[in-house]
Structure 1
Amino acid sequence: MTTVLERTALPTAAGGGWAKTVAAARYEYLMQVRRPAVWVVVLALIGLRCAAPFPPGFTTTTDDGKLVADWAFNFIMLGPIGVGAVLADRVWRESRLGLSDLLDSTPTGIGPRLWGKVIGAGAATITPVVVAWVGLLGYLTAQRGAGVIPVGLAAFAAIILPGLVFVAACSVTIPYLTGPGLYRLGLFGYWIWGNMVPPRTGIPTPAGTPFEAIGEYPSGAWFHGVMLDAEHRKITPTTGEAVLSIAFPLLLGLAALVITQLVLTRRSPS
């Protein structure tokens, strides 16, 4: 633990609330991005899905938008489960390493420390996804030319990133209230039920609606990507519905962060 503290300065009270949040985010990023589990778990789940990419045959399309959208769909199917799994024990790890009391003794404050944890640890856990996506774009660029790059960046921002941000925010905050084990179980169940259970099963599910978090609406509306559950519901997503499907998980993540901050503030003896 001493080595970690020497290399990564703890956030202090210097500056205002934003400066404290930035300092906390930097500390959390450097702590989290060094964990081998972050890279192994996230990349393994992405690789597992992309080993037999879905839908079959999409890699032969001449439409760059469809190509990158369908690759993005493969990334987002299992990747967020890995992100959530390795983030859920962030609080437990601090306690096990004896850092909880040390962090509580700093005058940073609950708000900046919590927001910094979400931003920093979340960004660190998303980093392997970014690295894998950049590697894929490099491969596609060598095959098809530089025109793939801007489309690929837009697809990442619209299809992959909102779901990852949503899961990262929930995975740092909700385990404060539930513990990591129960949260992981709930995340896995929610992700499968809420995004991948076909509506034709008769089970009520947000899959195929703008309230899913898997990026199907922006994929279909803007990039001509694969449409599964929305197509089953006979929905052709509009631009407004695509924007709603991006905003909804981000707002849920923000709500989880705000509620957790309020609960922790009430629990604090200060």
Structure 2
Amino acid sequence: MKVAELFETMDVSLRMRLWGKYVGTLIATCVPLFLVLSIFMGYIYAASQSLLVIPLFVLAFLVIAVPGLLFVAAFSLACPMVMPVPLYQFLFAGYWLWGNLFLKQQVLPTLSRTILTPSGSVIANGFFSTNTEILGTTPVSASIASMIVLVSVAAMVMIALERFLKWQQFH
């Protein structure tokens, strides 16, 4: 925070700095999540004694978790550029609860059962038939649509952020 002038003196383009921050943010969130989920993988491996658990686990992690992480990381970089960080943190906490955890909520409209759910529950349900009691049956096409929408929105946010930062440099 508050080191933009220092970075602007370096011989690195704005695009490289922005994408470096994005990749760093992704790695910083993926590694702990992957480590925690590896504990579960180890438990499943110990119970099944099948090495097939490892590639299936990695595939499931990439398919279920990564699209949502791409989506959240893009917004977590972009939103603090246009609003104060404490406001973004408050709004993000509310969004995460509203958009991911209110699964059985019938009164308040929520993103939790839509293709915009970054938690990966729709993707997991469509591909692996998980949480069927809460989400019902999710077709595979909805899971694919969720992956495409989450990744596409993340890309659009990063492109918009790069253009905003370039515009901000010249104004």
The TM-score range, normalised by the shorter chain, is 0.7 to 0.9
Say whether 1:136 aligns with 2:40. Answer: yes
Alignment check: 8 A CA contact 1:166 1:249 kept: yes
Greater mean deviation of Cα atoms: 129-138 or 111-120: 129-138
Report how far residue 217 of structure 1 moved: 2.2
Matched, 1:255 2:156: yes
2:116 aligned with 1:215, yes or no? Answer: no
Q: Is the 8 A contact 2:67 2:151 kept in 1?
A: yes
> Per the alignment, in what secondary structure is the counterpart of residue 125 of structure 2?
helix
Please state how far the C-alpha of 1:253 moved relative to its aligned partner.
1.6
Q: Of 72, 90, 109, which residue of structure 2 is paired with 1:185?
A: 90
SS at structure 2 position matched to 1:201: coil
| Superposition deviation, residue 200 in structure 1 | 4.0
Q: How many residues align?
A: 170
Q: Which runs of 5+ in 1 are unaligned?
A: 1-91
For 1:5, the equivalent position in structure 2 comes to: none
TM-score using structure 2 length: 0.88
Aligned twin of 1:163: 68
Q: Contact (CA 8 Å) 2:125, 2:135: kept in 1 or not?
A: no
Shift, 1:185, TM fit: 1.0
* TM-superposed deviation, 1:175: 0.9
Identity among equivalent positions (%) equals 26
Deviation at 1:257, TM superposition (A): 1.1
Cα deviation code 1:7-47 (max 9, x no counterpart): xxxxxxxxxxxxxxxxxxxxxxxxxxxxxxxxxxxxxxxxx
Secondary structure of 1:174's counterpart equals: helix
Superposition deviation, residue 112 in structure 1 = 1.6
Alignment of 1:60-139 (within 5 A): 92=1, 95=2, 99-139=3-43
Distance 1:105 1:148, change over 3 A: same
RMSD: 2.0
Task: Write out per-residue CA displacement over residues 216-256 of structure 1, whole angstroms, 9 at most, x where no aligned residue.
Answer: 2222222121135532xxxx222211101112122222222
Gaps of 5+ in 2: none
Cα distance between partner residues in 1 of 2:92 and 2:48: 37
The one-letter code sitting in structure 2 at the alignment partner of 1:237 is T
1:205 to 95, 100, 110: 110
Separation of aligned partners in 2, 1:162 and 1:112? 21
The match for 2:170 is 269
* Bigger radius of gyration among the two: 1
Q: Partners of 1:269 and 1:227 in 2: how far apart?
A: 51
Deviation at 1:199? Answer: 5.4
Deviation at 1:134, TM superposition (A): 2.3
User: Which deviations, in whole Å up to 9, do the C-alpha atoms of 1:36-59 show, x marking residues without a partner?
Assistant: xxxxxxxxxxxxxxxxxxxxxxxx
| Contact 1:194 1:205 (C-alpha < 8 Å) held by counterparts | yes
